[in-house]
Amino acid sequence: MRYRTDYSAALLASPPAILAIGDWRLHYQAYSSREQDARAPVLLLGGAFQSFRSFAAEVDELLAAHPVILLDLPSQGGNLQLAPELGLELLADLIAAFAEQLQLPPLMPIGLSYGSALAALFAARHPQRCARLLLAGITAFGRPGARLLLEEGLALLDEGRAGEFAQGALTGLLNPLHLDDTGIAPVFRKALLRQIQRLSPAEVERYRQNSRRLLAFQGFARHPQCPTLVLAGEHDHFTQPWEHAHFAAACAQGECALVHQADHLAQFERREACAALYRPFLGERPLPARSPGSTRLPRERLLSLDKRCEPRLAPRQRQAVLRHADGLRWPVELSELGFFGGLLQADLPTELPGRGWQLLAGELPAQPLLPLRRDARGLAFVFPHTDAAASQALAALIHPAPLPAAACA
């Protein structure tokens, strides 16, 4: 591997190097303080809406101590090559082929969101090629509610409802109940919403393929054996803290830290708090016993985190109506109501359609609703948050403090 030594943030927008492996084209950029560098490189693997430019601050920080490689696999980041036939496992194997062809020493992947699944699979399937592993935004467990929301997003895209898809995707990435905590500026939220709304047909198809890979993933046959650090945003609802902790517990040398005042984009929302952990971790030094902005979870606590990430309270007005798009209506009683979902009782048909539902509750606007599961306690449901005005009204009802006007914009 020959590294570039002239790094500047502007270079991240320049054309990448391309490595062909069979029919597949892998895009990458590689930087170091010297052209030939035998040290273990950090490998950056981003999420669904991230490009090399998303990592400008990280590259600048990491280059002081490590070579850095940014990699876009087919249908990821700026790589427009479609790869519907490649599952997550085969994409992870492409990372190993990349390392072999370029004769790289064992890598230290940093995987964020969708990239976390690829990084973790690479580490598990090719342990000899992975020295250390850092993950944030674990996406590969397939929690039923998360799967349902992914499926709804795909259905909306198939129906050409880009605005509703974008609103739901944004709420998954940026928890609107905690914008004051996470410090997300309204201008950033609006810019991200516009970016998702304006995905090109090719970008939409890539999102479809990546989402279908996650939905098709059957879980880890084995977990990483190398030292592994998992960072969880304390307000992350899309990939919840307990999921991060469970993954760390399954790793042979796994540790998990809860990043305060962060949600799914913890690495970008709380850069210094995250850097205070990954600096020593990547440098093979012990993690600090105490670190500003985060809490390391003792290993004995990793399997006991609360799986309920929001309060579910009995609403003052329990009587409501469940309405379906075909015009039928049923009276229901709400026993639990939260911003992301709830529980109701009703005399409903045995077989329920999966989509087309709205909840009419009190003075709230009609809330789009997805049935999740039905048991002796009633019908559990999730809100897809595809209607901005309805989401904002629900947030104002649930949240004890007024939300910023841009919370659900």
DSSP string, 180-228: HHHT--HHHHHHHHHHHHT--HHHHHHHHHHHHHHHH----SS---SEE
Residue 397 DSSP symbol: H
List the Cα angle 254/148/119 in 5-degree steps: 30
pLDDT at position 141, please? 65
pLDDT at position 312, please? 75
Q: CA torsion sign, 46 to 47 to 48 to 52?
A: negative
Q: List the strands of the sheet with 24-31, edge to edge.
A: 17-21, 24-31, 68-72, 42-45, 108-112, 133-136, 227-233, 253-259, 294-297
pLDDT at position 59, please? 96
Question: pLDDT digit string (tens) for 97-156?
Answer: 999 999 999 999 999 999 999 999 999 999 999 999 999 998 766 789 999 999 999 999
What is the tally of helices (H) and strands (E) in the chain? 12, 15
- Residue 275 phi, psi (nearest 5): -65, -35
Cα–Cα distance, 167 to 194 (Å, whole number): 10
Which one of 3.60.15.10, 2.40.10.430, 3.10.530.10, 3.20.20.70 gives the CATH number of domain 319-398? 2.40.10.430
Does domain 9-141+217-301 fall under CATH 2.40.50.140? My reply is: no
pLDDT at position 403, please? 39
Q: Burial level of 273, CB count in 10 A (0-12/13-18/19+)? A: buried
DSSP string, 88-132: HHHHHHHHHHHHHHTTPPSBEEEEETHHHHHHHHHHHH-GGGBS-
pLDDT at position 285, please? 95
Question: pLDDT digit string (tens) for 275-295?
Answer: 999 999 999 999 988 899 999
pTM: 0.93
Which residues, given as ranges, of the chain have pLDDT below 70?
140-141, 400-409
Q: Give residue limits of the domains in the chain.
A: 9-141+217-301, 144-213, 319-398
